[in-house]
Structure formats: C-alpha cells, structure tokens
Amino acid sequence: MSVPSTKVDSGAQSLSELFWEGQRLHEKLCGESCCLPPAETEAIGFKGRDVLTAVMQRVTSLALFSPNEDLEDVSTVDLKYVLVPFYLGEIYLKLPAMEKRLEHVQMGLVGGLFTARAAHVLTSQTLF
C-alpha cells in the first residue's frame, strides 16, 4: 500500500491562506479524529501534511526567521509560522500508513522538539 499524496498548488494561495488552511485541517484531524471515519481521517491527514509542508518550504525559502534575529526583530504577523512544525508533527502522528509508521513517529517527534525549542528561545528573547 503506497502513501497517498495530494497535490497542493501553493502558488495559487498566499502563505497566510495556506497556513490557515493547514491549521484548519490540523484542528479537524486532531480535534475530531475519534469521530471521523478512517478514510476521512486519512484524507485529511495527508492533505494537512502536504499543506503544512508547503507552508514550511515557503517560510524557509522566504527566510522569515534568521539565527541572528532577536524577538523584537520578528514581525508579530509572522510569529504564527513558528507553530507549523508543531502542527505538522501532530498530523504525522495521526497518519495511519503502517508501513511508514516509524517515519511518521520520528517526524512527529521532530516537530514537537522543534516547537519546544522555539518556545524556549522565544521566552529567552532570541529567535533561533
């Protein structure tokens, strides 16, 4: 069984629109997953993974966060993108493809560790 991939046309949407779509999919999957049929859970999970991966790629290519920035240097509007690895990590943990389960758990842990590090950095007044 191969892992489905959904095409995300990230060029047609703004970064903010993609982020909000990814957040909506994350909330639907992580908030209601016990109530959703398995096929719908899988479809939402893979779509959310693809959307949030596109957001992460765009944030990286735009270099919104730099190692030499202080917290004051980061635009308040851009702070929401710090949550992308967390959302992506939680979605990876919900993906049902058993043949890729180890990879999904590892990606989920990476997202959680990245988010914990970002939270620590934000509270210590430096970013990355």
> Could you give all domains of the chain from N- to C-terminal order, each with its CATH number?
15-127 (1.25.40.540)
Helix (H) or strand (E) holding 127: strand 126-127
List the chain pLDDT tens, one digit each, 128 residues. Answer: 344 555 566 568 999 999 999 999 999 988 865 677 888 888 998 999 999 999 988 988 888 877 777 777 778 888 898 888 888 888 877 877 666 666 656 665 565 555 555 554 444 544 44
- The single-letter code of the amino acid at 59 is V
Q: What pLDDT, on the 0 to 100 scale, is given for residue 102?
A: 65
Q: What pLDDT, on the 0 to 100 scale, is given for residue 15?
A: 94
Dist. CA 51–CA 120, nearest whole Å:
26
Query: In the numeric block, which tokens belong to residue 104?
Result: 């999904």
CB 109 within 8 A of CB 88: no
E strands present in 27-120: 69-70
To which residue do tokens 């990230």 refer? 10
Would you give the distance in Å from CA 126 to the centre of its chain?
Answer: 22
CB 125 within 8 A of CB 74: no
Q: Is the pTM of this model over 0.75?
A: no
Q: What pLDDT, on the 0 to 100 scale, is given for residue 128?
A: 43
